[in-house]
């Protein structure tokens, strides 16, 4: 257990399991895109560590881009999406893979997918490290998922608490949160 900002967090996913699961996911993604050229879009900030590990598994042709949105204040998703860094890449007719650290309500990706679709890509797939399946109420599909998790606040391995603690090696969940 660790204490962060007077809150107790318990280890939920060990770094060894993260590594193992990223290998598995990498193979699944390689199979899908083996003959393609892919525009890989990393959603900052949370996904930067996961994406750095995941893309090093890739064995297909790809370019890397970054976008940034914000929806959280403290431990709660606010529902209002702000675009902080927009996509500059031309994705018309291209296959797109979006990399996220966590899909919670799905609001952020819904907002982004709508914008992406206006640019006419050939396909859009999503890869996420964490998926809160009980919180997710959207129509679109999250095709590549490393871990399905409970609806609890998590930090570490890129995920923050008020912009801190992204460097934790394991993933931790807030203790006693219901
Ligand atoms: C997190 C995460 C996703 C989004 C998921 O970003 O990286 O983009 O929230 O939540 P949702 O499915 O309910 O929309 P955050 O706003 O915390 O920004 P950060 O990645 O820069 O920390």
User: Ligand 1: distance of its center to the CA of 170 in Å?
Assistant: 18
Per residue in 36-46, pLDDT tens? 999 999 999 99
User: Ligand 1: distance of its center to the CA of 76 in Å?
Assistant: 10
Mean predicted confidence (pLDDT) in 5-15: 94
Ligand 1 pocket member 158 (CB < 6 A):
no
**pLDDT at residue 150, as a whole number:** 94
Per-residue exposure over 113-126, b if at least 16 CB sit within 10 Å of its own CB, e if not: beebeeeebeebbb
Ligand 1 pocket member 103 (CB < 6 A):
yes
6 is annotated as an active-site residue? no
Q: Any long-range contacts for 83-87 (C-beta under 8 Å, 24+ apart)? A: 83/111, 84/44, 85/44, 87/41, 87/115, 87/116, 87/119
Ligand 1 pocket member 72 (CB < 6 A):
yes
Per residue in 143-176, pLDDT tens? 999 999 999 999 999 999 999 999 999 999 999 8
């Amino acid at each position: 257990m660790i204490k962060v900002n007077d809150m107790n967090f318990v280890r939920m996913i060990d770094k060894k399991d993260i590594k193992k699961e990223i290998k598995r996911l990498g193979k699944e993604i390689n199979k899908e895109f083996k003959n393609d050229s892919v525009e890989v879009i990393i959603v900052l900030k949370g996904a930067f560590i996961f994406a750095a590990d995941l893309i090093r598994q890739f064995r297909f042709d790809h370019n890397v881009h970054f976008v940034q949105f914000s929806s959280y204040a403290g431990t709660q998703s606010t529902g209002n999406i702000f675009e902080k860094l927009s996509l500059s890449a031309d994705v018309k007719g291209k296959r797109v893979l979006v990399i996220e650290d966590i899909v919670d309500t799905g609001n952020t990706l819904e907002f982004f997918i709508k914008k992406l679709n206006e640019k006419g890509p050939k396909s859009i797939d999503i890869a996420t490290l964490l998926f809160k399946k009980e919180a997710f109420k959207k129509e679109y599909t999250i095709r590549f998922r490393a871990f399905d998790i409970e609806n609890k606040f998590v930090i570490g391995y890129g995920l923050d608490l008020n912009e801190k603690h992204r460097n934790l090696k394991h993933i931790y969940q807030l203790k006693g949160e219901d």
